[in-house]
Structure 1
Amino acid sequence: MLTVGDKFPQFSLKATVSTESLDKAFATIDNGTYQGKWTCVFFYPKDFTFVCPTEIKGFGDLNEQFADRDCQVLAASTDSEFVHLAWRKDHNDLKDLPFPMLADINKDLSRALGILDDEGVARRAAFLVDPEGVIRFVYVTEGSVGRNPAEVLRVLDALQTDELCPCNWQSGEDTLKAA
């Protein structure tokens, strides 16, 4: 699995970006789409499941705060863009999702990241990637356990200080000074 300090792999994927008409629902997103920004790319196992929408909604609820930090949130799974669209139209919490859902149907990105499980499904993994394309944070949980999007945001805040941040540090608190 790729980890902190590794370059995030090159990718170009179809994404579901809205629930409007089919001609507006999809876009192609690649490494250059959000050039110069931080990205939070979080993978979840499958559409039409139970834990996944709670996480997706959680990241959606914090999307504006990620954007305030110049960070683009991207959801991803190995489902197609059409399945993403159907799920978004079907699930009330996902209808107005404010970020793209990447369709890694060939599993190339999941495989390159090292998060593809034995069944060919992406693990529940999140990556914070700096504007230079370097992975700065990785968060992986068991498939049955949802992540805490607020913790990902807290870590982004800490990373953006370029300072030493103690355990449970929150934005606005003092950072540590090396003696």
Structure 2
Amino acid sequence: MSSRSWERKVRKNQTQLNKQRKKQGQAPLNTSASSAPKMDVFKGRSIVLPVFLILFISFFITMSTYSGAYKQSGWLYWVTIACYILMAVMFILRRPYLAVGKDFVKSRRFGGDKTLYAGSIKAIGLQSGSIVIEQVKGTNWVFTRLINRYPTDEMAERLRAFAAANNITINEK
């Protein structure tokens, strides 16, 4: 088999795979690093959930020391405390983000990284301190300055350009 026919087969299989990935809402595979889509990434900082976890574990420690239940539980008590603290640290270090590409937006949700293409976005709502991306099918994506410390002013400017390029409705309040 010649090299050119092999390259044609690879391209053909990659286009089929990219069509399947697009239907599943995943980013398409690229053959080279230079063909990677250019994205503007806006990172936030998750502080509400880690603070809640720390408050919860401190309440747990306080209640168990008053009742004396920690004496009976043994080493599993300390493993539970360590796991909650580790989970709080994990949420602090795992920063939420919004990446805006040419025809898609991408974000980290609880189930993993999700991609929305322009065709599946109904509207984008812009307010001072928050941004809402409304989907045609599914729940809305909400990005706020208060909860996740997103740079919403910079995000709003980039999303206005994204909406203009892809004919998406902008709702400003």
TM-score (norm 2): 0.22
Higher relative contact order (CA 8 A, sep 6+): 1
Q: Which has the larger radius of gyration?
A: 2
TM-score (norm 1): 0.22
